[in-house]
C-alpha cells in the first residue's frame, strides 16, 4: 500500500510521448529530452552536451538566429542547433508541425515545458526525459 502511494503518475499526454523510466531502449532510438528547470544547473548540462559532446540541440537558440519554413541545422559560435524554439508554446507547436522528433536532426531537445514538449514525441520516436534538480 505504501508503495502505491509513492508512485508518481504523469498525465496521459506526457506518458504518451515519453519512455518510462524503467523501460529499456534496446535500439537506442529514444531522443534525449532535457526538462530544463531554471536555476537548477540545467543550463550547465545543456552547455556540456552542446559544447563537449557536440550534440545538435533543439532549444531556443536556433530559432533566435534563423527561422524558416523548413527544419535545418544552423551553427552558432561553433555549436549546432535546430532552427526551432522548444521553450515556448508557439515554438513547440511549430516544432511538432515540422515533425522535429522524427526528422533525425536533433540529438537533444531542451524545454522547460514538460507537458507541451512531451507532445513532440510519439510511438515512432519516444523522448527519454531527464532533468537536474537542486
Determine contact, residues 79/52, Cβ cutoff 8 Å. Answer: no
Q: What is the pLDDT of residues 23-40, one digit of tens each?
A: 777 777 899 999 999 989
**Which residue did the predictor score with more confidence, 19 or 82?**
82
* Residue 30 DSSP label: P
The pTM score is 0.86
Determine the Cα–Cα distance for residues 5 and 102; give it in Å rounded to an integer. 36
What percent of the chain stands above pLDDT 90? 54
Q: What is the pLDDT of residues 37-80, one digit of tens each?
A: 998 988 889 889 988 999 999 999 988 877 778 999 999 999 99
Where does residue 125 rank: exposed (0-12), middle (13-18), buried (19+ CB within 10 A)?
middle
Q: Which of 124, 123, 106, 134 is nearest to 33 (CA)?
A: 106
**Which residue did the predictor score with more confidence, 19 or 121?**
121
Amino acid at each position: 500500500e505504501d508503495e502505491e502511494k509513492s508512485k508518481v503518475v504523469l498525465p496521459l499526454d506526457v506518458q504518451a510521448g515519453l519512455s518510462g523510466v524503467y523501460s529499456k531502449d534496446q535500439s537506442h532510438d529514444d531522443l534525449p529530452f532535457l526538462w530544463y528547470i531554471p536555476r537548477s544547473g540545467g543550463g550547465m548540462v545543456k552547455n556540456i552536451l552542446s559544447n563537449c559532446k557536440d550534440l545538435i540541440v533543439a532549444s531556443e537558440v536556433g530559432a533566435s538566429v534563423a527561422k524558416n519554413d523548413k527544419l535545418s541545422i544552423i551553427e552558432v559560435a561553433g555549436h549546432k542547433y535546430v532552427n526551432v524554439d522548444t521553450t515556448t508554446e508557439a515554438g513547440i507547436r511549430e516544432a511538432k508541425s515540422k515533425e522535429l522528433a522524427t526528422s533525425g536532426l536533433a540529438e537533444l531537445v531542451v524545454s522547460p515545458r514538460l507537458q507541451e514538449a512531451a507532445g513532440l514525441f510519439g510511438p515512432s520516436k519516444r523522448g527519454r526525459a531527464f532533468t537536474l534538480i537542486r
